[in-house]
């Protein structure tokens, strides 16, 4: 046995480090399992058809989260619609057009900075700029625009990474056939980075679903039931904001846990979707 | 015809340039807005009094705007989260990068991604109902909503960033280093900690700095478990962070009080910019090897 020849000090060190490694790795696993189990056990029994399909009413003391679900869907759609062209365009500029290294460095540093800014600051600036300066009031659209800025770096980065995997020879081939730059981008480069765009979308949806601090002051916490166009111009709580309001301000822990369980389920689905798309595209590229 | 094509291409180039510069504009917009809205209150209250005043009583008859309690709470809270979260995250990362069998690794990595994806309000909710009563019973304090509860929640929330970035750094260590160490008679565990970890130290430092940034910027989860009273920080007392100071009074504030909240946000922003610059430094050094 190798260990038999080692000094006591070395054996002690190895034993200690190994024990710590296993213990802490197990602790991390236990934490994840506990969180999932606790939220689901506490939340799932509180999910009922009535909760999902009605809006809250003070008269009958009914709690319904249908408006919050719809608001979340609206805000996801609006954010993605705006952030996609911006993020993909920026990524295309960086990989296809930019020749000046300094410009690239500045844009990349800006994106890095954006992804480090805490959401509460986004909320504050969003409130000052979109709600007050641009006069949008507290509305889902103002919230969505705030989230656009937050998610810009994500879409940019994933698109950029997949653009880098489009072989240079494809571009050269297209140029050689006489295509202009825009045509090459449209027909060769863009189809090649679909995987990055989809991954970016999935990650962004996850972030939008989980966001609360940035939306509290930009999108507000009303529970009115609206259609999409009406909804975007009026205030509304997303699921996370509704969870916060129910738990912290109203002490309705049943509803809060029901929302938490729904969010947990969505997080699981999104993580799974991200992993599956990544695997799918990797396999497709390998062929 | 040729001229037309050229103008078209230049126009397209221009459009993409504008899209590329949107990020830069956003950063400028945020910076300018925070500075413009943050300076007046600082000026009116007095910079020294604002930063080093120990009482925050924004709604009192004679209001006092000292944010030292918030600054210290944010610093202590972040430090506490790092002290608890980094060893756990670091050890887990070494296990995942070097020891774990492939199947366990895939499974645990998806668990860690899940941890990263859980919304902060869910952490806050679980903290409110598990940690807060737990602390109250265990330490016999009147209220469990305290700095300690916030530290534990933050420590858990920064785990995924620390683990992911450290694993990436550890996996990038050239295999030759480890082979050489093993050939010289070091055991695998000694090799991981005395060769691989030092070789990945820039990346691990970046992971820690990223964790600091996450912890100092978190608002909602902390708001739900820290009690939210503007006390000087103490482990078992209700405290208020820089982030929660902004969030908790924004909805009903006006006048100088509101401006003071913007100033708090500016202070928070300066902390974040400092952390970002440090992170950038470590990441760059890590890339250069």
Q: What are phi and psi of B56, to 5 degrees?
A: -115, 110
pLDDT in tens, A111-164: 989 988 999 999 999 998 998 888 888 889 999 999 999 999 999 999 998 888
What is the DSSP secondary-structure string of B233-257? P-TTS-B--HHHHHHHHGGG--HHH
Q: What domain range includes position A14?
A: 2-46
Question: How far away is chain B from the Cα of A60, in angstroms, using its nearest Cα?
Answer: 26
Question: Measured between CB atoms, does A16 come within 8 Å of chain B?
Answer: no
Please name the residue of chain A whose CA is at the shortest distance from the CA of residue B25. Answer: A110
Question: Within this chain, do residues A122 and A155 fall inside the same structural domain, yes or no?
Answer: yes
Q: What domain range includes position B227?
A: 68-288
Question: Measured between CB atoms, does B20 come within 8 Å of chain A?
Answer: yes
Average pLDDT over residues B36-50: 88
pTM attached to this predicted model: 0.91
Residues found in chain A: 287
Q: Are B233 and B69 contacting, i.e. CB atoms less than 8 angstroms apart? A: yes
Question: Within this chain, do residues B280 and B169 fall inside the same structural domain, yes or no?
Answer: yes
Assess if residue B9 is contained within a domain. yes
Looking at A11, A28, A46, the residue that finishes a domain is A46
Question: Within this chain, do residues A89 and A13 fall inside the same structural domain, yes or no?
Answer: no
Identify the sign of the CA torsion A271, A272, A274, A279.
positive
Average pLDDT over residues B49-72: 86
Assess if residue B56 is contained within a domain. no
Question: Within this chain, do residues B270 and B144 fall inside the same structural domain, yes or no?
Answer: yes
Name chain A contacts of B23, Cβ cutoff 8 Å: 90, 107, 110-111, 114, 152-153, 156
Q: String of b and e for A255-273 (b: at least 16 CB within 10 Å)? A: bbbbbbbbbbbbbbebbeb
Question: Within this chain, do residues B30 and B167 fall inside the same structural domain, yes or no?
Answer: no
Nearest to B92, CA basis, from B191, B186, B192, B194: B192
What is the DSSP secondary-structure string of A93-153? IIIII---HHHHHHHHHHHHHHHHS-HHHHHHHHIIIIIIIS---S-HHHHHHHHHHHHHH
Question: Measured between CB atoms, does B31 come within 8 Å of chain A?
Answer: no
Structure confidence at residue A84 (pLDDT): 94
Question: Within this chain, do residues A23 and A130 fall inside the same structural domain, yes or no?
Answer: no
pLDDT in tens, A20-39: 999 999 999 999 999 999 99
CATH of the domain at A106: 1.10.3720.10
Q: How confident is the model at residue A2 (pLDDT cuts 50, 70, 90)?
A: low
Question: Measured between CB atoms, does A260 come within 8 Å of chain B?
Answer: yes
Question: Within this chain, do residues A69 and A15 fall inside the same structural domain, yes or no?
Answer: no
Cβ pair A243:B20 closer than 8 A? no
Question: Measured between CB atoms, does B274 come within 8 Å of chain A?
Answer: no
What is the overall mean pLDDT for chain B?
A: 90
Question: Within this chain, do residues A33 and A77 fall inside the same structural domain, yes or no?
Answer: no
Q: Are B161 and B214 contacting, i.e. CB atoms less than 8 angstroms apart? A: yes
Write the CA distances from B272 to B31, B267, B279, integer angstroms: 12, 9, 10
Task: Using the predicted structure, report yes or no on whether residue A1 has a pLDDT greater than 70.
Answer: no
Please tell me the total count of domains within chain B: 2
Question: Within this chain, do residues B212 and B102 fall inside the same structural domain, yes or no?
Answer: yes
Please tell me the total count of domains within chain A: 2
Task: Using the predicted structure, report yes or no on whether residue B289 has a pLDDT greater than 60.
Answer: no
Task: Using the predicted structure, report yes or no on whether residue A285 has a pLDDT greater than 80.
Answer: no
Average pLDDT over residues A89-102: 90
Dihedral angle of Cα A147, A153, A159, A162, to the nearest 10 degrees: -140
Longest CA–CA separation in chain A, Å: 79
Cβ pair B23:A256 closer than 8 A? no
CA A243/CA A247 separation, integer angstroms: 6
Cβ pair A29:B276 closer than 8 A? no
Assess if residue B181 is contained within a domain. yes
Cβ pair B217:A129 closer than 8 A? no
CA A215/CA A6 separation, integer angstroms: 59
Cβ pair B13:A181 closer than 8 A? yes
Task: Using the predicted structure, report yes or no on whether residue B257 has a pLDDT greater than 80.
Answer: yes
CA A85/CA A78 separation, integer angstroms: 12
Structure confidence at residue A114 (pLDDT): 92
Name chain B contacts of A243, Cβ cutoff 8 Å: 119, 121-122, 125
Phi-psi region of B236 (alpha: psi -120 to 50; beta: other; left: phi over 0): alpha
CATH of the domain at B211: 1.10.3720.10
Among A2, A180, A209, beta carbon nearest to B119: A209
Assess if residue B272 is contained within a domain. yes
Question: Measured between CB atoms, does A280 come within 8 Å of chain B?
Answer: no
Question: Within this chain, do residues B254 and B113 fall inside the same structural domain, yes or no?
Answer: yes
Question: Within this chain, do residues A9 and A113 fall inside the same structural domain, yes or no?
Answer: no
Question: Within this chain, do residues A161 and A24 fall inside the same structural domain, yes or no?
Answer: no
Question: Within this chain, do residues A163 and A60 fall inside the same structural domain, yes or no?
Answer: yes
Which residue, among A16, A36, A83, A93, would best test binding to B if mutated, counting the most B CBs under 10 Å from its CB?
A: A93
Cβ pair B91:A21 closer than 8 A? yes
Structure confidence at residue B1 (pLDDT): 52
Dihedral angle of Cα A8, A9, A15, A16, to the nearest 10 degrees: 150
Task: Using the predicted structure, report yes or no on whether residue A165 has a pLDDT greater than 70.
Answer: yes
Assess if residue B106 is contained within a domain. yes
| Strands in chain B per DSSP E | 56-57, 64-65
Nearest to A91, CA basis, from A161, A168, A167, A188: A161
CA B142/CA B266 separation, integer angstroms: 34
The residues with which B239 forms a beta bridge, in sequence order, are B227
pLDDT in tens, B83-135: 999 999 999 999 999 999 999 999 999 999 999 999 999 999 999 999 999 99
Task: Using the predicted structure, report yes or no on whether residue A234 has a pLDDT greater than 60.
Answer: yes
pLDDT in tens, B122-177: 999 999 999 999 999 998 888 888 999 999 999 999 999 999 999 999 999 999 99
Question: How far away is chain A from the Cα of B77, in angstroms, using its nearest Cα?
Answer: 16
Among A18, A111, A248, beta carbon nearest to B224: A248
The residues with which B57 forms a beta bridge, in sequence order, are B64
């Amino acid at each position: 046995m190798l260990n038999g020849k080692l000094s006591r000090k070395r054996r002690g060190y190895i034993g200690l480090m190994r024990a710590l490694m296993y213990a802490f790795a197990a602790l991390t696993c236990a934490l994840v399992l506990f969180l999932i189990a606790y939220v689901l056990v506490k939340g799932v029994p509180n999910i009922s058809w009535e909760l999902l399909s009605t809006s809250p009413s003070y008269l009958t003391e009914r709690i319904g989260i249908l408006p919050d679900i719809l608001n979340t869907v609206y805000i996801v759609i609006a954010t993605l619609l705006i952030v996609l062209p911006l993020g993909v365009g920026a990524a295309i500029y960086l990989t296809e057009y930019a020749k000046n290294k300094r410009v690239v460095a500045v844009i990349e540093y800006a994106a890095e900075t954006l992804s480090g800014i805490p959401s509460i600051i986004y909320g504050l600036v969003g409130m000052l700029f979109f709600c007050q300066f641009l006069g949008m009031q507290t509305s889902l659209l103002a919230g969505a625009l705030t989230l656009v800025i937050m998610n810009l770096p994500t879409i940019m980065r994933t698109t950029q990474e997949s653009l880098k995997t489009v072989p240079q020879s494809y571009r050269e081939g297209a140029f050689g056939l006489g295509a202009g730059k825009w045509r090459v981008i449209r027909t060769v480069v863009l189809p090649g980075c679909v995987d990055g765009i989809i991954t970016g979308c999935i990650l962004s949806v996850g972030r939008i679903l989980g966001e609360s601090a940035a939306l509290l002051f930009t999108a507000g916490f009303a529970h009115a039931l609206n259609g999409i166009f009406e909804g975007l111009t009026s205030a509304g709580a997303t699921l996370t904001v509704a969870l916060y309001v129910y738990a912290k301000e109203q002490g309705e822990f049943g509803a809060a846990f029901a929302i938490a369980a729904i969010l947990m389920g969505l997080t699981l689905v999104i993580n799974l979707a991200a992993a599956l798309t990544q695997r799918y595209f990797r396999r497709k590229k390998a062929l | 015809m040729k001229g037309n094509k050229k103008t078209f291409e230049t126009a397209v180039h221009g459009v993409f340039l504008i899209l590329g510069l949107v990020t830069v504009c956003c950063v400028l917009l945020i910076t300018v807005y925070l500075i413009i809205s943050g300076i007046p209150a600082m000026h009116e209250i007095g910079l020294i009094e604002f930063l080093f005043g120990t009482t925050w009583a924004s709604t009192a008859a004679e209001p006092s705007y000292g944010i030292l309690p918030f600054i210290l709470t944010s610093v202590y809270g972040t430090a506490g989260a790092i002290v608890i979260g980094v060893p756990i995250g670091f050890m887990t990362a070494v296990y995942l990068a070097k020891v774990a069998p492939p199947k366990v690794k895939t499974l645990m990595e998806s668990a860690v991604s899940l941890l990263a994806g859980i919304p902060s309000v869910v952490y806050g909710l679980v903290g409110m109902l598990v940690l807060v009563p737990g602390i109250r019973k265990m330490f016999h304090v009147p209220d469990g909503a305290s700095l300690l509860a916030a530290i534990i929640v933050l420590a858990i929330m920064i785990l995924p960033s620390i683990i992911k970035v450290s694993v990436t750094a550890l996996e990038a260590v050239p295999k030759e280093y480890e082979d050489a160490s093993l050939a010289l008679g070091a055991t695998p565990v000694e090799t991981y900690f005395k060769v691989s970890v030092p070789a990945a130290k820039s990346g691990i430092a970046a992971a820690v700095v990223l964790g600091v940034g996450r912890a100092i910027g978190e608002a909602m989860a902390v708001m739900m478990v820290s009690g939210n009273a503007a006390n000087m920080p103490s482990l078992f007392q209700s405290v208020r962070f820089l982030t929660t100071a902004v969030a908790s009074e924004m909805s009903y504030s006006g006048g100088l009080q509101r401006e003071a909240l913007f100033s708090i946000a500016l202070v928070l922003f300066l902390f974040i910019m400092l952390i970002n610059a440090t992170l950038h430094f470590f990441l760059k050094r890590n890339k250069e090897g």
